[in-house]
Amino acid sequence: MSKASEVISSGAEKLQQSLNGSLEGKKVAQLASVTKDYHDPKNRITTDYGVVQSNTDEWLKVSTDDHTGPSLLEDHMAREKINRFDHERIPERVVHARGAGAFGTFTLHKSLEEYTTAGVLTDTSRRTPVFQRFSTVLGSRGSADTVRDVRGFAVKFYTDEGNWDIVGNNIPVFFIQDALKFPDVIHAGKPEPHNEVPQAQSAHNNFWDFQYLHTEATHMFMWQQSDRSIPRSYRMMEGFGVNTFKLVNKEGKAHFVKFHFRPHLGVHSFVWDEALKLAGQDPDFHRKDLYDAIDSGCFPKWDFGVQVVPEADEQKFEFDILDATKLWPEEEVPIQFVGQLELNRNVDEYFTQTEQVAFCTGHMVPGIHHSDDPLLQGRSFSYQDTQLSRLGTNWQELPINRPVCPVMNNNRDGKGRHTITKGTVNYWPNRFDSAPPAKPEEGPHVAVDYPAKVEGMKARLRSKKFREHYNQAQLFFNSMSPPEKAHITAALAFELDHCDDPVVYERMCERLTDIDLELAQNVAELVGASIPQKAGRPNHGKTAKNLSQTELQPKNPTIETRRVAILIADGYDAVAYNGIVAALKAAKALPFTIAPRRTPIYAAGESKESGKGVKPDHNLEGMRSTMFDSVFVPGGADSVATLRKNGRALHWVREAFAHLKALGATGEGVELIKDACALPGMDFSTSGEITDSYGVVTAAKVQPQSFKETAQMAKGAKDFVDAYLWNISQHKNFDREMEGFPMMVAF
């Protein structure tokens, strides 16, 4: 039985969990009640109206052995089958159409009752079930995962008091301040109207035209041009609620709040060339990465935190705290980490779960409220509205969207209504006093409007702090490490190179002078714009913490779920191969054997007749280095001689080198590495010593005892395994890039 069907058929287990009384179990049991097991041996094909069929492969026809005659209209089974197929598709999401989802659990380790009455944020004994969907924004449902784009980070908490949705992104700010601009920013970013080009990317005239014309977007486009928009994995990015919300406590006192999720695996990204290639080589890379990690029991985890500002302090900042184009620097408002989000179960079926899940920022539980953030206010209208056209009136009844607490009201009928409500009235008030609204005294689960004083002119106006658009764009750029700054420069140069209207790239280079003159000059030179001579405004020089990814790394080095390719051919060194496989597995990494063919490969001294050998996971053409985090080449004179004559093998190593990945080699394997990247300034081991040169770890003569199973990953480690695995844990070797090595090899 497949893993997937085991999950589906574990109904008894799921019901047991529900009997445990946990809230987590409630959602699982609720879904189990509408889940069928396709692999149950008792199953037989039926029509949708339940009649068992004996042949669903041939349309009923008037035929003989010699002549195929007309198909008959009376074949209702056939018409039903085609008819259901014809209507399988629903409209894709108007934005964030491409995504992947999973189930999980939210736990709280510190109560926030000082700020809120919401059970999900105050009851530390709860395990709240969640469903999370990650996404790209601009591309269609069938577009690639690794494009340069913002990533959606949407979490549905099935709480005891109703559903709470945080519909966030992996970037803490947004392009616009007022929801009314959303159709414009999305039209400008999506494929252009005349030819529907390009798909899933911002590298085109209209996107950048919009950015220039909307100075409020300046901060966000800097994030969008940074490494944040090419994440290595959904599991390795932060999540932000972006908008400002309010928490209200039992005294009715309000605090402004921003929500944060910080990944245990650290924040990591691709390099651009890698992301570009993967978009063609493996468009489902992120989707598979998430599924495989959960399937293998390496559950992605995020620390959940809040930034809280008392209502009275609203005006104490130089920016408006209701402006979604601004972040709250951690120096000014520290994040309090109070909980953990873990994803621990894959979906059973993509369509009914990941596709039909529907989020809405208006889904809040008592104790969590709207602020006057004008982007949030409009969003809460938009999501409800869009679900009506995407999923229909009864979208909240779909199993994935149903709350785990009771639902009762007078919203009735509509297409596809499931619930059967018994009773003779469907309005309030009614003569039976049935289904009345609750009284506030009944408990904190009852939604009560929080009275807030509002004054102002009726006008199409934003307050004056909303009109400052550059300080945080500078703050972000100043806070980047040198490689991150170089990546932003290169990203802007790539994007503006795709804009063929000079007005667009000239103006954008002018706009960049409002952030940093040197950045503007470097980009202008690369894209052929006039080189700006004067800063649009002085750079204030300030920085803030935790904006650079380099500061967001795991406390202890880890290579959990890192994919490591081991290149071998006949005659490989079995001691090195087996040793590295064991060490990687012990560290929960995923070793993959790659060889010129997928039939068994024999170690040095092992004969074909012995019938053993290693069956590779892939051949050299089936995969590319882009799909792995590191490449290891064990010794073995014949194996390495074969690989050195193979251009594809050489390209594997060279490309991984240029993509800044850790490389490891022992024995003769060092020669293949040298063929690929022996540049002036690179060092390689020549005897028993371990050489770590820009993350390329080599040992020309290696003792069997060097391949110990449990690695002590550490910088400058003397042992081969310790040094090599430590380099994998660092994700990329940016010193290699700063020395200019990648640009010296052909990849």
Residues of the shown chain interacting with ligand HEM in the complex, contacts defined by CB under 6 A: 93-96, 99, 133, 135, 152, 154, 167-169, 174, 179, 182, 242-243, 324, 358-359, 375, 378-379, 382-383, 386-387, 390
Burial of 533 (0-12, 13-18, 19+ CB in 10 A): exposed
Strand 563-567 versus strand 630-633 pairing type: parallel
> Any catalytic annotation for residue 346?
no
* Residues contacting residue 679 through CB under 8 Å, at least 6 positions apart: 741, 744, 745
Helices (H) and strands (E) in the chain, counts: 20, 17
- Among 573, 592, 601, 602, which Cα is nearest to 666's? 573
| Catalytic site residue from 67, 83, 87, 96 | 96
| Distance in angstroms (rounded) separating the CA atoms of residues 182 and 185 | 5
Which residue lies nearest ligand HEM, judged by its C-beta? 152
| Residue type (1 letter), 524 | A
Strand 662-666 versus strand 630-633 pairing type: parallel
Closest approach, Cβ 689 to ligand HEM, in A, equals: 50
| Catalytic site residue from 163, 169, 346, 401 | 169
Closest approach, Cβ 374 to ligand HEM, in A, equals: 9
* Residues contacting residue 380 through CB under 8 Å, at least 6 positions apart: 360, 361, 362, 370
| Distance in angstroms (rounded) separating the CA atoms of residues 511 and 213 | 10
Token output for 223: 């994030």
The full DSSP string for 193-248 is TTT---SS---SHHHHHHHHH-GGGHHHHHHHTSGGGSBS-GGGS-EE--S-EEEE
Token output for 15: 């019901």
Three-state SS at 17:
helix
Closest approach, Cβ 92 to ligand HEM, in A, equals: 8
Helix, strand, coil: what percent of the chain each, to 5? 35, 15, 50
| Distance in angstroms (rounded) separating the CA atoms of residues 401 and 460 | 35
**Which C-beta is closer to ligand HEM: that of 185 or that of 672?**
185
**Which C-beta is closer to ligand HEM: that of 211 or that of 693?**
211
**Which C-beta is closer to ligand HEM: that of 358 or that of 364?**
358
What separation in angstroms does the CA of 258 have from each of 111, 173, 222, 345, 744? 16, 11, 21, 27, 45
Closest approach, Cβ 293 to ligand HEM, in A, equals: 19
What separation in angstroms does the CA of 113 have from each of 124, 363, 635? 11, 20, 60
Closest approach, Cβ 131 to ligand HEM, in A, equals: 10
- Among 727, 725, 729, which Cα is nearest to 583's? 725
Cβ atoms of 639 and 568 within 8 Å: the answer is: yes
Token output for 211: 């950015």
Closest approach, Cβ 335 to ligand HEM, in A, equals: 18
- Among 378, 109, 444, which Cα is nearest to 243's? 378
Cβ atoms of 275 and 281 within 8 Å: the answer is: no
**Which C-beta is closer to ligand HEM: that of 200 or that of 324?**
324
Closest approach, Cβ 225 to ligand HEM, in A, equals: 18
600 cis-preceded (ω within 30 degrees of 0): no
**Which C-beta is closer to ligand HEM: that of 242 or that of 279?**
242
* Residues contacting residue 114 through CB under 8 Å, at least 6 positions apart: 249
| Distance in angstroms (rounded) separating the CA atoms of residues 708 and 583 | 7
Residue with the two structure tokens 């792995």: 628
Cβ atoms of 259 and 237 within 8 Å: the answer is: no
**Which C-beta is closer to ligand HEM: that of 383 or that of 494?**
383
| Distance in angstroms (rounded) separating the CA atoms of residues 271 and 738 | 13
> Any catalytic annotation for residue 187?
no
**Which C-beta is closer to ligand HEM: that of 96 or that of 402?**
96
Closest approach, Cβ 94 to ligand HEM, in A, equals: 5
| Distance in angstroms (rounded) separating the CA atoms of residues 326 and 347 | 35
**Which C-beta is closer to ligand HEM: that of 80 or that of 178?**
178
Closest approach, Cβ 547 to ligand HEM, in A, equals: 18
198 cis-preceded (ω within 30 degrees of 0): yes
**Which C-beta is closer to ligand HEM: that of 323 or that of 495?**
323
Closest approach, Cβ 132 to ligand HEM, in A, equals: 9
Closest approach, Cβ 300 to ligand HEM, in A, equals: 16
**Which C-beta is closer to ligand HEM: that of 224 or that of 733?**
224
Residue with the two structure tokens 């790394």: 553
**Which C-beta is closer to ligand HEM: that of 221 or that of 741?**
221
Cβ atoms of 499 and 205 within 8 Å: the answer is: yes
The answer to whether 427 is annotated as binding is no
| Sequence ranges of the binding site | 383
| Sequence ranges of the binding site for heme | 383
Which are the catalytic amino acids? 96, 169
